[in-house]
Structure 1
């Protein structure tokens, strides 16, 4: 009597896969929920919110690693493990990216010893971009957490509904649900909508074939993979668009802030040119010449780099024009202090000292002021105003 060959999903390996995934699905009911990220980019989030977020993120990392290890074991036990390996590796890669960023947050947190500077740095780490895999676009930390959760859910679904042993109707229902989610994400993206329409047409054909009793296991497995990849790619694309929108808003705010500094800096430069001889020649940058904020990522990154250069140029011009004015004010104060010293020790009676005072005072008060000459004359007067040895106020 010929021995009946067992189906690939019904042997010992298939039982082990279903048992492992079943345990993961039961545990999913009590899984740790991802924490809500505090603050926003450029804002120093409150320390209490950051502490709660770190606690929640570390609990989430431990929970998801346990689940990913269980799914990895289940995938390796499957009869066609190579179908699941890329997605398991990708999910683990995203998890590791979140883990690395959490470690960076813990270093800055330093056990709670944080000032506003450290808290703003932590907000930057939370809402800044996280590299989830080589060659892929970066997403923020909350988006990476959401992406990891979506991959875990997709892997759990695919492993629970093995092509050789699961109910086809339930699997088709899962495909339709994934398509609905993907279509919501693809709103306004013509290319993605067309791609999903083709997948929807294939699902309808497979549903019709299955309803007539046809074997759709192979095509359905391929469709599940394509739909899962489409949904994942759309999640990343949506995340990129949101990140780009936030980056454009930040660039607009920075440009507006720099442009608002220009009038005061022009006034400072004009005052320095009136009151100081040989003033600096720094140009005051015109922020409006950068043009509008670009819509694309590459153009926006280049625009932000130019914006940073303009900000540094504004800082340099402000320092250059304010320093001569500040030094002139300091020289006036030093001259007054030296006059008081000379009056106290009797040196103001000396014709030489009085002549030096008149020269220094004239140099300081003349407009435009030669700051270098005034400095030299004030230093000369300070030297002459010192008490003589053995004289009044001097050493004996």
Structure 2
């Protein structure tokens, strides 16, 4: 494998320096182009050798990763805009680099990873595919493969440190076993033994382990994000429910007939769960509550807006009558008085108020035509 993803600069929330962004974009663009060539080469070789089905799932995942990274690169490059970036744009670029890849939704299990994680995973998968097909440029150079494995195990060590307490010991044990295997292979290679048959299984095991760790960490992070966002949504719904109660009371006191929609009780849903299995259904219930609130809000707002529009309509007719000198006409004045009295009543019978305004309009049309 000749292409290795560049190290992503900064962290989420940083306002990256323009020179750092430019260098990273150049390196990433080169990596994306080289990686596509490598993946195409792997695919063509596998098909020619009749081994397409053997590597199909890993090849699909590698291509999905490459596509997600390429799509995100296009967004970062557009935001970069040739270097015309202020602090807001530089922070946005950091968020695009370190945020979750939306384009990764096509990967198995809806895997959500950051671009640096996706790059590392794509490197590991491509190296594994090349080794399985004996395409890697250093596939026969044991020293190079041993060096690459040591670097991979160091990356795995960093990932193991992110494991939760209940699974970390098992991950540490698995990593230790792989390091012992590598030390044994390295010692045999130094004595001149052919270790090609021992390296390939360890490469596959290390790549699988690294992939599992990255995927597991991404899913845990996604679960944490879901819990946090669900808590924020619940808090927002509680605030909306209180405001909706006031809106409903105002509407019922202002117009007749008024809509009659119950304001959902957010407390009835119980506390936000903290398990991955329960958070999804709970979020769906919150979404249904949000939709019910939105419907009720629209109905109450529409009823109040209708009353406001009737007042504005009467004002417009009166202004027109005043403009042509008919505002003080006895019939028009009495009609306006009746309409305003009805609009001021609480609750206001909207149907009757509308009829009285129509009566004022009719008087205005009649007197205007007779002049």
Work out whether the TM-score is over 0.5: yes
Describe the shift of the 1:145–1:374 C-alpha distance in structure 2 as closer, same or farther (beyond 3 A).
farther
2:272 alignment partner, SS class: coil
Taking structure 2 as the reference length, the TM-score comes to 0.71
Describe the shift of the 1:264–1:132 C-alpha distance in structure 2 as closer, same or farther (beyond 3 A).
closer
Counterpart of 1:135? 108
Alignment of 1:180-199 (within 5 A): 180-186=154-160, 187-188=163-164, 190-191=166-167, 193-194=169-170, 197-198=173-174
Counterpart of 1:263? 242
Q: Please point out which of 152, 155, 172 is paired with 1:178.
A: 152
Q: Please point out which of 283, 292, 315 is paired with 2:262.
A: 283
Describe the shift of the 1:105–1:175 C-alpha distance in structure 2 as closer, same or farther (beyond 3 A).
closer
Counterpart of 1:64? 32
How far off is 1:283 after superposition?
1.6
Confirm or deny: 8 A CA contact 1:101 1:141 kept in the other structure.
no
Q: Please point out which of 350, 368, 371 is paired with 1:388.
A: 368
How far off is 1:130 after superposition?
3.2
Distance 1:370 1:110 in 2: 59
Distance 1:202 1:388 in 2: 97
Distance 1:131 1:361 in 2: 61
How far off is 1:309 after superposition?
2.7
How far off is 1:154 after superposition?
6.9
Counterpart of 1:148? 122
Alignment of 1:199-210 (within 5 A): 200-201=176-177, 203-204=179-180, 207-208=183-184
1:95 alignment partner, SS class: helix
The alignment yields a C-alpha RMSD, in angstroms, of 4.8
CA displacement, residues 294-346 of structure 1 (integer Å, 9 cap, x when unaligned): 33445333333333332232222222222322332332333334334445545
Confirm or deny: 8 A CA contact 2:76 2:96 kept in the other structure.
no
CA displacement, residues 122-151 of structure 1 (integer Å, 9 cap, x when unaligned): x79964533366534421452424433454
Q: Please point out which of 324, 335, 348 is paired with 2:314.
A: 335
Confirm or deny: 8 A CA contact 1:94 1:133 kept in the other structure.
no
Consecutive unaligned residues in structure 1, runs of 5 or more: 1-20, 41-45, 392-396
1:294 alignment partner, SS class: coil
Alignment of 1:22-61 (within 5 A): 24=2, 34=8, 60-61=28-29
CA displacement, residues 359-379 of structure 1 (integer Å, 9 cap, x when unaligned): 312211111111121112112
Distance 1:54 1:151 in 2: 27
Confirm or deny: 8 A CA contact 2:128 2:204 kept in the other structure.
no
Higher radius of gyration, 1 or 2? 1
Distance 1:99 1:389 in 2: 71
Describe the shift of the 1:205–1:134 C-alpha distance in structure 2 as closer, same or farther (beyond 3 A).
closer
2:28 alignment partner, SS class: helix
1:97 partnered with 2:68: yes
Distance 2:149 2:30 in 1: 29
Distance 1:326 1:206 in 2: 74
Distance 2:96 2:283 in 1: 16
Describe the shift of the 1:200–1:35 C-alpha distance in structure 2 as closer, same or farther (beyond 3 A).
closer
How far off is 1:230 after superposition?
0.3
